[in-house]
Amino acid sequence: MKFTSTNFRNLKMFKASVRRLFLQSLRQTAHFREGLETPTGSLQRLKFYSTQTPVKDASGTAVSEKEAEETRIKKKLPSSNTPFIRELFLGRFTKEMLQFPEMTKEELENLNQMVQPIEKFFNEGLDSKSIDVNAKIPDEVLQSLKDLGLFGQQIPEEYGGLGLNATEFARLAEITALDGSIAVTLAAHQSIGLKGILIAGNAEQKSRYLPKLATGEHVAAFCLTEPSSGSDAASIQTRATLSDDGKTFLLNGGKIWISNGGIADIFTVFAKTKVLVDGVEKDKVTAFVVEREFGGITSGKPEDKLGIRGSNTCEVHFDNTPVPIENVLGEVGGGFKVAMNILNSGRFSMGSSGAGILKKLIGMTCEHAVSRKQFGSPLSEFGLIQEKFAKMTITTYAMESMAYMTAGVLDLYEKADVSLEAAIVKVFSSEGCWTCVNECLQILGGLGYMKDYPYERYLRDGRILMIFEGTNEILRLFIALEGMKAAGKELKDAVKVARNPWKNPSVAWSMYKKALDRKFRSNKSEQGIALRKPNNSKLLLMDILHNTFKNESLLLEGCTEAFQKVVEHLLITHGKEIVSAQMDLAKVADIVIDLYAMTACLSRANRSYCLGLQNADHEITITKAFCKDAAKRIDRNLKEIYSGPVENNSENYEHIAQTVFKHGGYAAAHPLDRMW
Amino acid sequence: MMQRQFLVCIRSLLMRDALFVQASIDRKSQIRKYHQTAPTMFYKRFMNREGKKALKKKEEEDSEIDAKLVEDKVQGLEKVSKIPYKIRVATYEGTADRFLNRIFKQVEESGEKSEKSFNTAIKIYKLNAGLYMRGHIEFGDLALSKLEEYELQYNLEVYKMIFSIFPEGKYLPKSKIDAEFVPFPRQQDAALKVLSKMMDNGVIPDEEFGRMIISRFSQRSKVFARYMRMLYWMPKFKYMNPWPVPRPPPKDPIQLAVMALKRMSFDIQTKITVVNNSQDGDSASEKFIASAQSPKQIDLLSKHGPSKPIIVEGEHYVYLRKIQQKVFFLKTDPEKEIMSDDPDYYKAMEDKEDEELFDFTTPMSEEEQTAIVPKKSVHEQEDGTVYAMCITSDSSKESIQDWIQFLQTSNPALQHIPVLFRIRDADFLLNETIKQEEEE
């Protein structure tokens, strides 16, 4: 930071700046939080980077103290977090999120030791091309994966698994993602297949199934999708009827597109059962653990797919499969919650998987860009190529930050509520992955299109990310609607008043003035609604962040404020019809995704810079660039929401789509058609 | 110098005068030409002056000459020669109309009414009419009136054929000013009649038609203005109707019924089934039932309890251009009569809405989610839910009963639901009203 006293004409300003610098330097050193009374009490529970000074480590007693503290933290995890995204809809920013979660030194060392052999195996011992061409993972490969313990990553150590927490799991997912087929096989096995037993299973079920699943002796699969129900999981048709003696359920029905369906021995199956609710018989979803040995299970032939060809996907049919009543997961009739919990808990790792793929691809493409010469100069000197690389890097960085931040929050609490955050990570990373791999192929040119090179395989494999585990569309709705619901409940009375202008003329008048103000201000200023930096910062985000990010913290604050206003605006304009304003909801979801990504990037870059990690200045540039981009996107989305369905084109989209449906396809006349 | 300039001025003035004179001479000669070529007006006036007796002699002479001429010329024409005809051309018969009528009569005698014979008629006229194209306005009118008879009213080529009887280059205005005063008004009117007929029948003229008009009446004529307007507006309206009825509309009643039902069913998935009673292919005397029902309607019908009766309502009318058909609906009575002046009804609704504001559950958090709910289908209307509709060949009560029986095959639930017939017979009603009026 450059400054001279000559820059400050008046003494007051000079004093203020000196004070600011002083505070800033304090913040970066050890004693700020401890010495001063902490202004935010909520920050106490978090590990603070600046407290990890070597001063304490020097003495042995300090280390033992630290250990004791750690064990205390481990034993008594706080029960639940304040849900960041839900709060954001109300304009409240949970500042704890700006402290990027950290692992302890030992944990990290353990993890790195674990990672090394796996990384070696994936980089050297794997022929991904033959897996893709033959559409089968060879048994030796599967065996070595089992030997590495990858089939029981999240299973507790007492059952023979690795007992990884979310962060460690995300780190491994980064490596396993290098081969799409293996990643999906593993994910189907443990992220969804056996997760039901982990989350909702009782002790007996756990001890019965988990040991064999952990070693990979048994492979698990997750059976939810049916021909008639994809995203709408509650509409499944498979039935489970209780036998007369009340001891077994009989399963009947068919499931499609089941990953590992052909090779699995244990299935987590969802079926409708009759349940008495308040004296009325109702069909409700129940989850079962079904072994192949129970009989009556047939799997179809493996499906031929675009990507992830090595993974086994097929139909699974249940024909009067007897399932003992002990094998019900959770309660009878409580299967839907189980299914959603499983899916919610598995999503966050997609961020790190995507980042893993992209980091490798960026490396490979970088080599090409440096070595390939056109018009006498390497591709890396062309501005257009540089732009592509920068954008890819930014996206990857954001993806990674979000994924690890979410995983960190998951680890910090006993029952962490990160369903919205996980959905955000999934949406952002799956789409980012697709666009970035696409850009990589563009940089590689013809090379990227050839089957001899691995690039096109990554493109094909990456396409599935946007489709499975909840399509991005339904996830966007989920994010926006859940947030809107939280906001709506709190603002209910205010919304009621605002929606009835004739009864409340004073409110209507002030709203009208606000709308006018917004309109003229947005017209006058070059900067948009969101980009406006608040004059007096209410949230004081820059108190937590390094002074380098002063600008960005103000941006984030402005965006948060504007976002809260737009949520209010939408609630007032749509009322209960908000559920059907899907195009607006998607924009809201996009804004939230950007806000979360900004927060994650800022907190990570802040940590890196304060600690002085390698290439921390690079991270700062990335973060600044990302914040700028995100703020622009947010601004555009805000403007579109405010401008209403006519201006933002959503009405047109509706009409066009309706015409297409009416005509059963593309309805415009051929350009060569003549009238006379 | 001055002198020279003065001379030049005078010369130029003189020259202009000379040009003027030349122009006036030109015009006079052309006017003379107009009298020579002006067809029927001149001809009629001439007839009145001469008297009938004098005409008879001339008629015989003319007819002999003309007939020979025609036969010689026609033999060269391939298309025309196929039709045997003998024309006793009586050019100066009592009126021109009779002469023209005869052409069509003769053509019709020798063959069927088709585009080919129509063209032959026009060719015969052209060959007969001689140098001055006598009676071509009358012939144009006649040909236009015959179009429906020949079923050629939607054929652009035929219109061109008719239009070609106007002689080229004869009716052009002499100048811009002349054009403003509409020269040859009768001829232009006759040409406009052709265009009007085209417009009525939705036939859009093409570029060639425009060229024909320019060569006959020029760009500054009323005819061309009409042509331009037609070219501007008609294409805009051609596909205006989202359920177009083809030109000419089909004669098959089954096709017509299917078309009408398609137009009325807003549900894209609606299936239209036709039940045929007779085996032989004679479509006119065929008895049929065309029934329209969508899967959604079947679903709704299956949910209809057996306690409430279903009503067959009819007959309602549906029109395809000028063709009227009678439709019957299978529907329910309105569930609840909404009293618009009942304030409590709306207040209760509002209160309920207020209470439930933002109480929805999202698809990924609750099993019975309320965020994404299906909209009310088009079949569920305020005045009742429509389950099916049909058009039968004779709209008789028996045929409607047959229809209900047919519906029972695809809707088993219908067997247990009482069906009421609320059919108003149009003929019966008409008779009633006539009786009432008579009594009064």
Share of chain B above pLDDT 90, in %: 34
- Please check the confidence at residue A2 and state whether its pLDDT lies above 50: no
Strand partners, A229: A226
In this prediction, residue B129 carries a pLDDT of: 73
Please indicate whether, in this complex, the C-beta atoms of A492 and B358 are within 8 angstroms of each other: yes
More confident residue, B435 or A286: A286
Tokens of A222: 């997750």
Q: How confident is the model at residue B123 (pLDDT cuts 50, 70, 90)?
A: confident
Closest CA relative to residue B291, chosen from B315, B268, B274: B274
Interface of A with B in 50-69 (CB under 8 A): none
In this prediction, residue A61 carries a pLDDT of: 46
Please indicate whether, in this complex, the C-beta atoms of B357 and A576 are within 8 angstroms of each other: yes
Please indicate whether, in this complex, the C-beta atoms of A485 and B231 are within 8 angstroms of each other: no
Q: CA A381, CA A315: separation in Å to the nearest integer?
A: 51
On whether any CB of chain B is under 8 Å from the CB of A414, the answer is: no
On whether any CB of chain A is under 8 Å from the CB of B351, the answer is: no
On whether any CB of chain B is under 8 Å from the CB of A670, the answer is: no
Measured between beta carbons, which residues in chain B are less than 8 angstroms from residue A234?
363, 367-369
Residue type, A538: K
What is the residue-averaged pLDDT of chain A? 86
Please indicate whether, in this complex, the C-beta atoms of B364 and A485 are within 8 angstroms of each other: no
- Please check the confidence at residue B22 and state whether its pLDDT lies above 80: no
- Please check the confidence at residue A533 and state whether its pLDDT lies above 70: no
Half-sphere exposure of B3 (CA within 13 A, CB side): 0
Tell me the ipTM for this assembly: 0.71
In this prediction, residue B433 carries a pLDDT of: 76
- Is the backbone of residue A665 left (phi > 0), alpha (psi -120 to 50) or beta? left
- Please check the confidence at residue A3 and state whether its pLDDT lies above 50: no
Q: CA B331, CA B379: separation in Å to the nearest integer?
A: 9
**Torsion angle, alpha carbons of A26, A31, A37, A39, to 10:** 50
> What number is the average pLDDT over the span B337-349?
68
> What number is the average pLDDT over the span B4-24?
57
Task: List Cα–Cα distances, B33 to B29, B183, B359, B384, in angstroms.
Answer: 6, 14, 91, 75
For residues A427 and A479, is the Cβ–Cβ distance under 8 A?
Answer: yes
Share of chain A above pLDDT 90, in %: 68
On whether any CB of chain A is under 8 Å from the CB of B205, the answer is: yes
Q: CA A557, CA A562: separation in Å to the nearest integer?
A: 9
Q: Which of B362, B366, B368, B378 to mutate to test the interface with A (most CBs of A within 10 A)?
A: B362
Cβ within 8 Å of residue A415, ≥6 positions away? A79, A80
Q: Is the peptide bond before A65 cis (omega within 30 degrees of 0)?
A: no
Q: CA A502, CA B354: separation in Å to the nearest integer?
A: 16
More confident residue, B431 or B46: B431
Q: Smallest Cβ distance to B367: which of A336, A485, A579?
A: A336
Measured between beta carbons, which residues in chain A are less than 8 angstroms from residue B238?
675
> Which chain A residue lies closest to B203 (C-alpha atoms)?
A676
A13-20 long-range Cβ contacts below 8 angstroms, 24+ apart: A20/A547
In this prediction, residue A611 carries a pLDDT of: 92
Q: Smallest Cβ distance to B372: which of A488, A492, A579?
A: A579
Maximal C-alpha separation, chain B: 118
Please indicate whether, in this complex, the C-beta atoms of B358 and A481 are within 8 angstroms of each other: no
- Please check the confidence at residue A74 and state whether its pLDDT lies above 60: no
Q: CA A302, CA A259: separation in Å to the nearest integer?
A: 9
pLDDT in tens, A467-506: 988 899 999 999 999 999 999 999 888 888 888 888 888 8
Interface of A with B in 107-166 (CB under 8 A): none
> What number is the average pLDDT over the span B101-111?
80
> What number is the average pLDDT over the span A453-462?
94
On whether any CB of chain A is under 8 Å from the CB of B368, the answer is: yes
On whether any CB of chain B is under 8 Å from the CB of A231, the answer is: yes
Please indicate whether, in this complex, the C-beta atoms of A661 and B268 are within 8 angstroms of each other: yes
Interior angle at CA A288, CA A214 and CA A231, nearest 5 = 100
Measured between beta carbons, which residues in chain B are less than 8 angstroms from residue A495?
357-358
Residue A582 Cα, gap to closest chain B Cα (Å)? 10
For residues A250 and A321, is the Cβ–Cβ distance under 8 A?
Answer: yes
Helix (H) or strand (E) holding B329: strand B323-331
For residues B37 and B170, is the Cβ–Cβ distance under 8 A?
Answer: yes
More confident residue, B394 or A407: A407
In this prediction, residue B369 carries a pLDDT of: 84
CA B432 and chain centroid, separation: 36
On whether any CB of chain A is under 8 Å from the CB of B98, the answer is: no
Please give the interface size between A and B, counted as residue pairs whose CB atoms are below 8 Å apart.
74
> Which chain A residue lies closest to B374 (C-alpha atoms)?
A580
Q: Smallest Cβ distance to B363: which of A232, A285, A578?
A: A232
In this prediction, residue A499 carries a pLDDT of: 84
> Which chain B residue lies closest to A497 (C-alpha atoms)?
B354
In this prediction, residue A455 carries a pLDDT of: 94
Tokens of A401: 């930050």
Residue type, B239: Y
Q: CA A597, CA A602: separation in Å to the nearest integer?
A: 8
**Would you call A506 exposed, middle or buried from its count of C-beta atoms within 10 A (0-12, 13-18, 19+)?**
exposed
> Which chain A residue lies closest to B270 (C-alpha atoms)?
A662
* Listed range (A18-32, A536-550, B336-350) with the worst mean pLDDT: A18-32
Tokens of A424: 């955000």
Residue A644 Cα, gap to closest chain B Cα (Å)? 21
Residue type, A336: F
pLDDT in tens, A342-398: 998 888 989 999 999 999 999 999 999 999 999 999 999 999 999 999 999 999 999
- Please check the confidence at residue B372 and state whether its pLDDT lies above 90: no
> What number is the average pLDDT over the span A6-14?
55
In this prediction, residue B70 carries a pLDDT of: 56
Closest CA relative to residue A225, chosen from A259, A248, A191, A198: A259
Please indicate whether, in this complex, the C-beta atoms of B363 and A231 are within 8 angstroms of each other: yes
> Which chain B residue lies closest to A469 (C-alpha atoms)?
B364
Half-sphere exposure of A632 (CA within 13 A, CB side): 5
- Please check the confidence at residue A308 and state whether its pLDDT lies above 70: yes
Helix (H) or strand (E) holding A272: strand A266-277
Q: CA A393, CA A395: separation in Å to the nearest integer?
A: 5
Q: B279-314 b/e with 16+ CB inside 10 Å = b?
A: eeeebeebbbbbbbbbebbbebbeebeeeeebbbbb
Residue A190 Cα, gap to closest chain B Cα (Å)? 21
On whether any CB of chain A is under 8 Å from the CB of B355, the answer is: no
Q: How confident is the model at residue A29 (pLDDT cuts 50, 70, 90)?
A: very low
Closest CA relative to residue A221, chosen from A114, A129, A109, A297: A297
* Listed range (A29-33, A142-146, A265-269, B185-189) with the worst mean pLDDT: A29-33
> What number is the average pLDDT over the span A204-222?
94
Please indicate whether, in this complex, the C-beta atoms of A661 and B206 are within 8 angstroms of each other: no
Q: CA A467, CA A462: separation in Å to the nearest integer?
A: 10
More confident residue, B11 or A232: A232
Q: CA A642, CA A639: separation in Å to the nearest integer?
A: 5
Q: How confident is the model at residue B14 (pLDDT cuts 50, 70, 90)?
A: low
Which of A226, A291, A456, A469 is flagged as catalytic? A469
pLDDT in tens, A611-651: 999 999 999 999 999 999 999 999 999 989 988 899 999 99
Q: CA B292, CA B196: separation in Å to the nearest integer?
A: 39
Q: How confident is the model at residue A46 (pLDDT cuts 50, 70, 90)?
A: very low
Residues in chain A, total: 676
On whether any CB of chain A is under 8 Å from the CB of B440, the answer is: no
Q: CA A462, CA A177: separation in Å to the nearest integer?
A: 10
pLDDT in tens, A574-610: 988 899 899 999 999 999 999 999 999 999 999 999 9
In this prediction, residue A40 carries a pLDDT of: 41
More confident residue, B298 or B37: B298
Interface of A with B in 283-312 (CB under 8 A): 284-285
Helix (H) or strand (E) holding A366: helix A349-371
- Please check the confidence at residue B7 and state whether its pLDDT lies above 80: no
Annotated active-site residue A469? The verdict is yes
Q: How confident is the model at residue A130 (pLDDT cuts 50, 70, 90)?
A: very high
Q: How many CB atoms lie within 10 A of CB A181?
A: 23
| Helices B96-110 and B115-129, axial angle in degrees (round to 10) | 140
Q: Smallest Cβ distance to B364: which of A340, A489, A675?
A: A340
> Which chain A residue lies closest to B265 (C-alpha atoms)?
A662
Concatenated DSSP letters of B282-321 = -SSS--EEEEEE-HHHHHHHHHS-SSSPEEEEEEEEEEET
In this prediction, residue B136 carries a pLDDT of: 87
For residues B390 and B327, is the Cβ–Cβ distance under 8 A?
Answer: yes
Coil, strand or helix: which one is B371?
coil
Q: CA B26, CA A513: separation in Å to the nearest integer?
A: 78
Residue type, A119: E
Measured between beta carbons, which residues in chain B are less than 8 angstroms from residue A488?
357-358
Cβ within 8 Å of residue A261, ≥6 positions away? A221, A223, A255, A299, A300, A312, A313, A314, A315, A316
In this prediction, residue B44 carries a pLDDT of: 46
Measured between beta carbons, which residues in chain A are less than 8 angstroms from residue B206?
676
Interior angle at CA A590, CA A600 and CA A46, nearest 5 = 20
Tokens of A15: 């004093």
Residue A478 Cα, gap to closest chain B Cα (Å)? 6
On whether any CB of chain A is under 8 Å from the CB of B228, the answer is: no
> Which chain A residue lies closest to B352 (C-alpha atoms)?
A576
The bridge status of strand A266-277 relative to strand A220-223 is parallel
Closest CA relative to residue A321, chosen from A353, A354, A349, A299: A299
Residue B198 Cα, gap to closest chain A Cα (Å)? 13
Residue A253 Cα, gap to closest chain B Cα (Å)? 20
Please indicate whether, in this complex, the C-beta atoms of A576 and B358 are within 8 angstroms of each other: yes
Please indicate whether, in this complex, the C-beta atoms of A482 and B365 are within 8 angstroms of each other: yes
Torsion sign, CA atoms A422, A428, A430, A433: negative
In this prediction, residue A57 carries a pLDDT of: 39
- Please check the confidence at residue A149 and state whether its pLDDT lies above 80: yes
Q: How confident is the model at residue A180 (pLDDT cuts 50, 70, 90)?
A: very high
In this prediction, residue B266 carries a pLDDT of: 86
In this prediction, residue A79 carries a pLDDT of: 80
Measured between beta carbons, which residues in chain B are less than 8 angstroms from residue A340?
364-365
